[in-house]
Structure 1
Amino acid sequence: MSTPVPAPTGQQPADSAGRRAIWLSVAALAMTFMLPLAGLVMSLFALVAGVRAVPLLRSAGRTTGMAVGGIVIAVVALTLSGMATGLQLYLMDEYSAYQECMKGAGTVSSQGECYTQFRTAAEHKLPHEILQLLGAVQP
């Protein structure tokens, strides 16, 4: 006969709430640089975990530093992933043309030409201020 397992109470323990928030936010930040759209979703989860952890930690009499740090990192990840996702969506046609060009490029020289075409198309579509911010042109 097995030992009965107590039913879950529905609340996460206060000890792990802050750690969960910080780990989710760090994972969201890392995901932002690999897959911006996935980083966007992950940072939303991290933000919710951080916001939920603060009152839980306060009611348990623990410090909220880890949860607040998780919230700050999640907001940074959310901002970066939102900007990167928006930029990808804005340059979708140019990037599709670049991918098609790369499929037919058989040499390094032709691949460089594809990149040059992509960069020129992106420079024509983006405002000059954004290009300066990205470091694509000199001020």
Structure 2
Amino acid sequence: MSTPVQAPAGQQPAESAGRRAIWLSIAALAMTIMLPAAGLVLAVFALVAGIRALPLLRNAGKPTGSAAGGIAVSTVALLLSAGATAMQLYLMDEHSAYQECMKGAGTVSSQGECYVQFRDAAEKKLPADVLELLGTTP
């Protein structure tokens, strides 16, 4: 059995761990905008990478700003993606009905009617506070 090879003085792994944390967190934030469920998973990975990078950077005597920034950005991405994913799951039936309506909509006015039906169904299911926050109150 052989022993693992270690980098000299631990410099390179610590620096790359900090960069990895910040890049993963930025990717998680971007994924949250496009696909919230994937952003949720990536934000968890970014948060773990940032937490693991902190002691590596401290032990190497390097600044911990990249790891701390990665933790902060991934926490924001985690909260946003968790909220968006929860909203998607909560309104899944209404969204499915909207998609079915749009498949049969042949004109712009019928597409508008599909949207109005979706909005009305979502308004019945969501509290007024959330609707005000989203800016969809009449």
TM over 0.5: yes
Aligned to 1:92: 92
Aligned to 2:22: 22
Structure 2 counterpart of 1:82, which letter? A
Provide Cα deviations, 1:80-120, integer angstroms capped at 9, x if missing partner. 00000000000000000000000001111111110010001
Give TM-score scaled by structure 2 length: 0.91
Structure 1 counterpart of 2:35, which letter? L
**Secondary structure, aligned partner of 2:100:** helix
Give TM-score scaled by structure 1 length: 0.91
Which consecutive residues of structure 2, in runs of 5 or more, have no partner in the other structure? none
Structure with the bigger percentage of helix: 2
Shift of 1:63: 0.5
Structure 1 runs (4+) greater than 2 angstroms displaced: 7-12
Say whether residues 1:49 and 2:49 are aligned partners.
Answer: yes
**Secondary structure, aligned partner of 1:76:** helix
Say whether residues 1:122 and 2:125 are aligned partners.
Answer: no
Structure 2 counterpart of 1:57, which letter? L
Q: Summarize the Cα distance change of 1:120–1:8 in structure 2 as closer, same or farther, 3 Å threshold.
A: farther
- Counting aligned pairs with the same residue, the percent is 70
Structure 2 counterpart of 1:129, which letter? D
What does residue range 1-139 of structure 1 map to in structure 2 within 5 Å? 9=6, 13-137=13-137
Separation in 1, partners of 2:82, 2:102: 27
Q: How many residues align?
A: 133
Separation in 2, partners of 1:137, 1:74: 31
Separation in 2, partners of 1:133, 1:103: 30
